[in-house]
Structure 1
Amino acid sequence: MHIRRREFLASIPPVVAAATLPATARAQAATAAPGSEAEKLNQALDWAYDALIREDPEFATALGLDKGDNVAAKSRLADRSPAGIKRQQGLYRDGLTKLKAIDADKLTGMDRINYDTFRGPWETYVQAYDRFNYGTHSWPEPHPVTQLSGTYRSIPDFLINQHSIAGQADADAYLARCADFAAQIDNETGRMQAEHAAGVIPPDFVIDRTLQQYERIVAPRPEANGLTTNLAEKAKEAGIAGDWTARGTAVVRDRIYPAMQRQIAELRKVRARATHDGGVWRLPDGAAYYDYALAYATTTTMSADEIHKLGLERIAELTARADAIFREQGMTKGTVAQRLLAIGKDPRYIYPNTDAGKAKLIAELNLQMVEMQKRLPEMFGRLPKAMVEIRRVPPEIEAGATGGYYQSPALDGSRPGAYYINLRDTAENPRWSLPTLTYHEATPGHHHQIALAQEATGIPPLRRLPAYSVYTEGWGLYAEQLADEMGAYAQDPLGRLGYLQSYLFRAARLVVDTGLHHQRWSREKAIAYMNDTLGTPEPSNVTEVERYCVWPGQATSYMVGQTRWVALREKARKSLGERFDIRGFHDTALAAGAMPVSVLETVIDRWVEARKQA
């Protein structure tokens, strides 16, 4: 899983303009004494909150806040030009300057938590801006356009799934965004050309995969393009007069497709210069860039060697646990990976690879989610109000997409949360592997954590955003363990094997990501390691390895985060003994919003001391 548009300006839900903020969101500043360091902090965080939305109107749409005083955002996309990127980076520079002007020693309680949540990470970002002339636009991604990244694939998904049309103005705004889409593709192409000239070139297999995906995207005639048909359908449903098919066709034909062809031409042109090496070590200052990626992903000082070692240790532990379950079921032949692969291919557990089979798969996942929601009060005192749905990844992008991703609910209640599952081939998702995916993506995983953060009170609006992958993805993986602890697999040994395979998968990521980018593994060695360790189909492993090549470090955040969540829980349990309350632990950690793991430890330590004194 990954959260759409990864990390602070990449994966978080949108920030919103001051005019659209709920009253409770602005109440924070009023609680601080005039002229105090706490007031300065609140003002700095509110400034950052307001400034960020101006640079990314897509965020406003994502939470349904492109209305009222902020309706102009609905006609625009984020500016991906060099000037736009510089402005976004400037926000962090200015925000860090504001934080440095605050005397942190005079901050107490949640104010100090709020300060520490941003001070260290923002310093990491700014240092990267100063050092690297590539791959610092959002998440550490060295290449702006790949099989998983780029406007060409994100904006159609965004417009189709998130741009609402209720009247003429909304339809016109959709067309305006389509025109801007073409401009942003050209902006990215210009960035690609500059980076290619500087020697920052994607691996050959990444270019090939991207071009394959592009071929499917530009194949339909303009009138059959998803953007055109989506506009016409939404306009018809809203009862808006006019030939919207013709208007959409014109923009796709005259602007979008030509811009896409220019980007395709650049990829084909640079293909001859590409190498087959997938690690960022091959790039200018590549070793330092990977250190930056790991720091960004984990919010720790763990080295690549330490992360690699952690992965190997977890692999050994989890393999032994899976072997014990297999033996209990009378399955003893072959390695654990071979046995997992065998039951993964068993037709009894495979949904038909048809539209009907895929619809049945999603329906059953939704039922599993409903059953888990009934168990949540065992572990949580506070439950989110927002609902969540399970949907299919759009077929036009599923070939190169990840296994799943989560989309936050709209703040105004107009859209529920959703997790998208990739159904390019149902054989990649045998029935016994699916429950744990639901628990990770929906509840008690990403939806539970992110929706609660959005609904939180007592923290500034900026703190409600899932800005730290190690926290959010660590929680998602920890939620899989919670499901097991709640008895989800008590009568389902194969389901527990699916859970353990999920953990093996995240542990293998530690090994493979550091192997590729630090130990200079080849793509083929990484794929072979996944094949030999996980028992997942090779096509899935190929997709995963190629993901790590373009998103260095990101995949390490899951298991690093999960180990920290468990360590903090057990530390608190040991300290409190009978006074430990699992629901209080979870409610406290989730109510405080996303944060680096060191700050999370401070929050839990404070909770433990309060419990001791109660």
Structure 2
Amino acid sequence: MHSFDTPLLTRRAALKGASGLAIAATLPGCVTATATPAASGATALLDDVAWRLLAHEPGRATSLGVDTGVHAAMRGQLEDTSPAGKAALAETLREDLARVSAVNDSGLDAPTRTSLEVVKSAYANALDGFAQPYGDVAVGSWRNAPYVVIQNVGGYLDLPRSFDSDQPLRDGADVDYYMQRLAQVPAALAGELERMRSAREMGLVAPDFLLDKAIGQMEQTIADTAEGGAWAMPLGRSELAEARAAVPHAVQLAQTAIAPVLAAQLEELKAERALATSDAGMWARPGGPDYYRWALRASTTTSLSPEEVHELGHDTLASIHAKMDPILRSLGYTEGTAGQRMHQLSQDERFQFAEGDEGRAQIMDFIHERIDWIRAQMPRAFNRTVTAPLEVRRLPLAEEPGAPTAYGGAGSKDGSIPGKMWINLLTTDLHRKYTLPTLVHHETIPGHVWEGEYSNQLPLIRSILAFNAFSEGWALYAEQLADELGAYADHPAWQLGYLQDAAFRACRLVVDTGMHAKRWSRAEALTFITEQTGDGMDEMASEIDRYCSWPGQACGYMVGKLEILRQRELAREALGNRYDLKDFNMAVVEGGNVPLDVLAGNVSRYIASASG
């Protein structure tokens, strides 16, 4: 089993604070049987804050499965994406941040104090984002984007996927809610269009290579919409008579109301393309350096500068390559850099899937086999396991050209919607048999789906708010945990796949900061990441484009993992023979999704408790 050294953050004391706030190192723990009046009041406040946020983002209520009972009407509503709607959301955040900040937490239990601090962090950071002159701001989520509609951002992608995977169709009332929400799609797209035009007028135009992808994808979505397509497909697939009866109305809505706004968005993208340059990074956009510093802070929940992140990436990459070299030599790959030798490995037909649908079926079978294996190992790593229902789905065809190789997440809070792993099957050449195991462990178990099941057991506001550095840091830690459980023990090539993915995440620190702060071109970034990892040019091209449209997001992965590993080593050193891996893992996942300094507090409390 292998891991790589983690001296980097400790050596330069890199983690300097979450989101610029002095968040207390408060810790979750067991809630007392009898809550004090102060605790009951704070709990009620946090619940009210959660519902006030969901009122602005009803789609989130649906994905969590909490739009039921008195909140059922939210199932038929969509977010107001217009400038006015975003301003109203920001005002709610401002009001609720003040309410939460006014709470005297001196008499509160640790879990409640932690929840208050998590809200403060998420809301303060989001308000800093809304103070930027443009872009989409994720409130307690992971995707901040300067461009409202681009190759991997926008309702033209998000909404069809949501109707297909999240929108329930259990009875006639659900059909009514489906149609109500569908009727609001034109307004949501029009709100985006208004913000697209406003951003262009202030000089914000995406790079030409992103716009070329977005235009092609938008054209495909419009062609699909002309047939009713994804907007009506879930209804036609349903066994409900009411759903099938609604199909003609849905098709009409798609053709007469949705298609014209999509066409207007397409014309706007083309207008932007006429003005676009090939400059990849935010340095070339108006206010771009300030935007990037905020985006980097939002992603990592630290105050690391672009220069520090860049250096951290180079150092981490070197340590991972040192781990790969002896394994490569043992397999007979002795000449060239680690990246060159991994590229040679990728050409080995033993690790390739067949082309076309035959290979797609092989990939799906491979994924399910690895899920079954890792699920059986979880009692070895956690004192309390979760059910973690999940399904594996292919990404929608319109999304695949601009999407990463895969992504995933936990299901709904009520368990009615399973967790999902979305896999990009645009071409089977995106995947190798030695890379898929790590991808599975990252997206499903013990990664995103697994961790999310624990967060779903926390109060509603904690299920809503998530921090990129923790979410993705945990998923990378999950890859290493799978390694420590023996996932790759009998497969040296799988071991290399795991280390190659780790090197890939270190490269992200280098190329993200390189493009957005150091004025690297897309070609420079693509050359660096392919040479250092040995990954394919086509796969890495989509990754580079993702970093251009989601500035800073890719940096949260390795920063978060290194901090989790640093905390684990602190616990091991402090506890000696009292240290238990299962106890440490429980302290992290039951503490919930938190900024990194709050994570440190969770671990400190675990150490104090285990010390007796």
Counterpart Cα distance in 2 of 1:83 and 1:341: 50
2:438 and 2:498 in contact (8 A); partners too: yes
Q: Which position in structure 2 is the counterpart of 1:559? A: 558
Instruction: Specify whether residues 465 and 590 from structure 1 end up closer, same or farther in structure 2 by C-alpha distance, changes over 3 A only.
Output: farther
2:148 and 2:192 in contact (8 A); partners too: yes
State the secondary structure of the residue aligned to 2:335.
Answer: coil
Q: Which position in structure 2 is the counterpart of 1:288? A: 290
Letter in 2 for 1:154: D
Query: Percent of aligned pairs with the same residue?
Result: 34
2:203 is aligned with 1:202? no
1:445 and 1:477 in contact (8 A); partners too: yes
Letter in 2 for 1:182: P
Q: Which position in structure 2 is the counterpart of 1:599? A: 598
1:428 and 1:536 in contact (8 A); partners too: no
Counterpart Cα distance in 2 of 1:170 and 1:108: 40
**Range with bigger deviation, 46-55 or 239-248:** 239-248
2:128 and 2:294 in contact (8 A); partners too: no
Q: Which position in structure 2 is the counterpart of 1:33? A: 36
Task: State which of 249, 252, 259 in structure 2 corresponds to 1:250.
Answer: 252
Letter in 1 for 2:50: Y
Counterpart Cα distance in 1 of 2:422 and 2:320: 27
**Range with bigger deviation, 412-421 or 252-261:** 412-421
Counterpart Cα distance in 2 of 1:441 and 1:136: 24
Deviations 1:303-325 (A, max 9, x none): 11111111001111111211210
Q: Which position in structure 1 is the counterpart of 2:300? A: 298
**Range with bigger deviation, 315-324 or 592-601:** 315-324
Counterpart Cα distance in 2 of 1:400 and 1:512: 18
State the secondary structure of the residue aligned to 1:405.
Answer: strand
Give 1:29 shift. 11
Counterpart Cα distance in 1 of 2:420 and 2:532: 31
1:146 and 1:206 in contact (8 A); partners too: yes
**Range with bigger deviation, 517-526 or 119-128:** 119-128
Q: Which position in structure 2 is the counterpart of 1:377? A: 379
Instruction: Specify whether residues 454 and 58 from structure 1 end up closer, same or farther in structure 2 by C-alpha distance, changes over 3 A only.
Output: same
Letter in 1 for 2:48: W
Counterpart Cα distance in 1 of 2:183 and 2:119: 36
Instruction: Specify whether residues 221 and 453 from structure 1 end up closer, same or farther in structure 2 by C-alpha distance, changes over 3 A only.
Output: closer
Counterpart Cα distance in 2 of 1:242 and 1:393: 24
Counterpart Cα distance in 2 of 1:464 and 1:390: 22
Letter in 1 for 2:460: P
Give 1:241 shift. 7.5
Counterpart Cα distance in 2 of 1:301 and 1:493: 38
2:339 and 2:533 in contact (8 A); partners too: yes
Q: Which position in structure 1 is the counterpart of 2:440? A: 438
Letter in 1 for 2:373: E
Q: Which position in structure 2 is the counterpart of 1:18? A: none
Letter in 1 for 2:94: R
State the secondary structure of the residue aligned to 2:407.
Answer: strand
Q: Mark the runs of 5 or more structure 2 residues left unpaired by the alignment.
A: 1-29
Q: Which position in structure 2 is the counterpart of 1:163? A: 167
Task: State which of 386, 400, 403 in structure 1 corresponds to 2:402.
Answer: 400
Q: Mark the runs of 5 or more structure 1 residues left unpaired by the alignment.
A: 1-26
Give 1:345 shift. 2.4
Deviations 1:279-310 (A, max 9, x none): 11122222121111111111111111111111
2:87 is aligned with 1:86? yes
Match runs of 1:56-135 below 5 Å: 56-104=57-105, 107=108, 109-130=110-131, 132-135=132-135
**Range with bigger deviation, 142-151 or 320-329:** 320-329
Instruction: Specify whether residues 97 and 31 from structure 1 end up closer, same or farther in structure 2 by C-alpha distance, changes over 3 A only.
Output: farther
State the secondary structure of the residue aligned to 2:435.
Answer: helix
1:568 and 1:604 in contact (8 A); partners too: yes
TM-score by length of 2: 0.91
Give 1:224 shift. 5.1
Match runs of 1:219-234 below 5 Å: 219-220=223-224, 222-223=226-227, 225-234=229-238
Give 1:208 shift. 0.9
Counterpart Cα distance in 1 of 2:334 and 2:243: 66
Q: Which position in structure 1 is the counterpart of 2:325? A: 323
Deviations 1:407-458 (A, max 9, x none): 42123332211111111111111111100111111111111110122124xx
Give 1:118 shift. 2.7
Alpha-carbon RMSD: 1.9
2:137 is aligned with 1:137? yes
Q: Which position in structure 2 is the counterpart of 1:47? A: 48
**Range with bigger deviation, 531-540 or 410-419:** 410-419
Counterpart Cα distance in 2 of 1:42 and 1:221: 45
Letter in 2 for 1:47: D
TM-score by length of 1: 0.91
State the secondary structure of the residue aligned to 1:219.
Answer: helix
Instruction: Specify whether residues 193 and 230 from structure 1 end up closer, same or farther in structure 2 by C-alpha distance, changes over 3 A only.
Output: same
Letter in 1 for 2:231: L
Counterpart Cα distance in 1 of 2:181 and 2:276: 33
Q: Which position in structure 2 is the counterpart of 1:501? A: 500
Letter in 2 for 1:219: A
Deviations 1:149-182 (A, max 9, x none): 0001100011012212233332232222222111
Letter in 2 for 1:536: D
Instruction: Specify whether residues 288 and 40 from structure 1 end up closer, same or farther in structure 2 by C-alpha distance, changes over 3 A only.
Output: farther
Task: Give the structure, 1 or 2, with the largest relative contact order (CA under 8 Å, sep 6 or more).
Answer: 2
2:189 and 2:262 in contact (8 A); partners too: yes
Deviations 1:106-132 (A, max 9, x none): 5553333223223234223223333x2
2:420 and 2:444 in contact (8 A); partners too: yes
Counterpart Cα distance in 2 of 1:443 and 1:134: 36
Letter in 1 for 2:36: A
Letter in 2 for 1:512: V
Deviations 1:4-55 (A, max 9, x none): xxxxxxxxxxxxxxxxxxxxxxx98995422x3x455323312211111211
Counterpart Cα distance in 1 of 2:467 and 2:515: 23
Q: Which position in structure 1 is the counterpart of 2:351? A: 349
1:96 and 1:123 in contact (8 A); partners too: yes
**Range with bigger deviation, 185-194 or 72-81:** 72-81
